[in-house]
Amino acid sequence: MGPRLFLIVCFAGLAATCLAAVGAGMWLIAAALPEEGPDIFNIVMVYGGGLAFLLTAVIAVVWAYLDHALAQPTAAIVRGIQTVMHANPDHRIEVPDLHQLGGLPRAVTDLVSQLARAENSVGEAIAKATEKVEQQKDQLGIILQDLHEGVLVCNLNHNILLYNNRALELLHITSEVGLDRSLFSFMNRQPVLHALDRLTTRVAEGRHVQHETGTMVSFVGSTLDGRHTLDGRMSLILNSDVVPTGYVISFDDETEELAALGLRDRLLREATEGLRAPVANLKAAAEILNANPDMPKDDQVAFKQVMLKEGSFMAERLESLSAQYRDVITGHWPMTDIYSSNLFNNLANRLKDRLQLDTVMIGIPLWVHGDSYTLMELLDRIVQKVSAHTGARSFDLEAVSGERHMYLDVMWKGEPIPASELSSWLTDQLEDTLGGLSLRDVLEHHKTDIWSLPHRGGLARLRLPLPPAKHPPTSRGTRSRPSRPEFYDFELLQQPDTLGELGSRPLKSINYVVFDTETTGLEPSSGDEIISIAGVRLVNGRILTGESFERLVDPKRPIPKESIRFHGITEEMVKDKPPVQVVLPQFHEYLGDAVLVAHNAAFDLKFLKLKESECGISFDNPVLDTLLLSVYLHDYTNRHTLDAVAERFGIDIQGRHTALGDALVTAGVFLKMIDVLEARGIHTLDQAIESAHSIVEVRAQQAGF
């Protein structure tokens, strides 16, 4: 119902009501008059009719005024707005003169005009943005078209979302790929999955922030038929929550280059094998001449010298060609820095899932240099061979630092593999890898070899030497940092003189958890809080790297900048992490009944003890402090920081001033200490605790002087 019709209905109702009221009044008056007074009746009728007419006239005039002053202008505004919105954005709203809407028509006109202009502006902006997006899309298409490398963009389901024509050429696809097709319809899946697993693990652990290549990793793949080798790089696509949503692969065809290497390989092999026979002949001739003393002496001497000289030359030439051959073959194979724990973790998962073989990562992880995918395939096949040959179902995996190489060791209970048997395994081809490489090819690409030898405790091991990482992450341990205060708190380190059966057990037979914390500062009693805690298990003299505990903690307070520059943990990193009331009970459960070990343990224990009541737990496990044990073992020096002790025991320091990194270094130090303690006659836990207590007492006495 429009405003005019509404007014008509309202005023018509008002007029009818007034007429009815007047009529009713006249009827009541007439009924009350005596019959003998007709003149009075006529007067009432005249006045009543006049009043009815007057009221009707007034109502009609008021309606006409309101209709002209309000209803018609309002209707005009409505029609004008409809015209502007649906027909002509430039239309000016026309309102009858003498209206009583005040500034409303002008305000509505201005508002509609501004709305129309804004709509035009938005439309123009959208048109420009669309045009810009189309231009960028065209530019991206041109860039992708002109790139020498192939580019593929995929989601986490490995469906192709974007590609360029170069990708089609390199994958040798004659038709369109077709968006949403699986990448594995054209490319070998294993190298891609391995690269993606490395990146997602790196991001999940937060290592991509400081990693040299960030969210990018190199890999070597191949087309599905294995005819073409692809040198690729994968980069993760992360959303605003740092969650992977897809990945980009850029790649090039290395088939011809590798084929050229293969040709040079064949030529060098022929050359070297061709030289072996002449060398053997020359040496044989020299031996014959030496065996015939009847020849003239001068001839013998001259002939022998020539033959021996030529033989030596050719033998040296043979070795030179062999060395050049190895350099040529290995110089072009893509290599990256690899963290041993990542390689071992992937290997352990694969062996467990496929063959139900149990593997345990031990020792301190190290950085090595190589191709993680082919190394993974090599170790996988070798462990399978060892299991089949020896019947072993459980293996230890450890990275060991040497003078010039890093060693990857695979250990099992049993006898070493004979050299002839191991050599026969190396001829096996890896069907799932590039071009059917053999195990020996993988070793040659890495300029290394593999051998088997006895290990202590009835174990045997396979040892694979690899070069150290070329660009390992910079150790934060090289930065200057104030030493933690040395706590010699009797209450914190107070332990019973004897621990019953546990205290009498040999040190090497006890289960330990070596732990460390990172904090907002060095004053736990003044409000500093834990921001990271980590632990690693020691079982039977082995560091179980794969059973580590590591958590970031929200301290619910600012982290000082002077602390951040040492441990690298920012407020953004601990944002939304669980508080200490959640993390410490988790660590307490992880700890179980193991013996606690830490460097300057009282410092870390102070933080734990202050939170016991809040967390509803109690850390009453026996404790050993490597700082006190260092003072006991090496009382001739005042250098007992973790860095100094690690250097003294020859422990390679990586990842210092992270809780897990420090825990791993402390674990390595403690294992070395056990051997020295035993040499000093300290064999049991009770004896070790007593030795540490003696140092506490000495330091406390010194502090009193």
Residues 6+ apart with CB under 8 A from 513: 535, 536, 537, 538, 549, 590, 591, 592, 594, 595, 596, 597
Residue 225 and residue 228: Cα distance in Å, rounded? Answer: 8
Count the neighbouring beta carbons within 10 Å of the beta carbon of residue 385.
Answer: 19
Got the DSSP string for 190-247? HHHHHHHHHHHHHHHTTGGGT-TTTTEEEEEEEBTTS-SEEEEEEEEEE-TTS-EEEE
Contact assessment for residue 620 and residue 638, using Cβ atoms and an 8 Å cutoff? no
Residue 531 and residue 584: Cα distance in Å, rounded? Answer: 11
Quick one: 91 exposed, middle or buried, by C-beta within 10 A (0-12, 13-18, 19+)?
middle
CA distances 313 to 278, 287, 299, 301, Å, are: 11, 17, 21, 18
405 catalytically annotated: no
Q: Which two tokens stand for residue 188?
A: 């070998």
Q: Which two tokens stand for residue 373?
A: 């995918």
Instruction: Please provide the size of the chain in residues.
Output: 705
Q: Which two tokens stand for residue 272?
A: 């070297």
Of 559, 568, 553, 544, give the one whose Cα is nearest residue 608: 553
Beta bridge partners of 446: none
Of 597, 662, 587, give the one whose Cα is nearest residue 623: 597
Contact assessment for residue 601 and residue 624, using Cβ atoms and an 8 Å cutoff? yes
Residue 340 and residue 546: Cα distance in Å, rounded? Answer: 11
CA atoms within 13 A on the CB side of 15: 16
CA 656 to chain centre: 20
Quick one: 469 exposed, middle or buried, by C-beta within 10 A (0-12, 13-18, 19+)?
buried
H, E, C per residue of 13-67: HHHHHHHHHHHHHHHHHHHHCCCCCHHHHHHHHHHHHHHHHHHHHHHHHHHHHHH
Report angle CA 293, 294, 299 to the nearest 5 degrees. 80
The H or E element spanning position 96 is none
Which position among 194, 208, 445, 657 bears the catalytic label? 657
Of 449, 452, 383, 384, give the one whose Cα is nearest residue 417: 452
CA 692 to chain centre: 40
Instruction: Give residue 319's identity as a one-letter amino acid code.
Output: E
- β pairing state of 459-466 and 406-413: antiparallel
Count the neighbouring beta carbons within 10 Å of the beta carbon of residue 61.
Answer: 10
Count the neighbouring beta carbons within 10 Å of the beta carbon of residue 247.
Answer: 25
Residues serving a catalytic function are 657
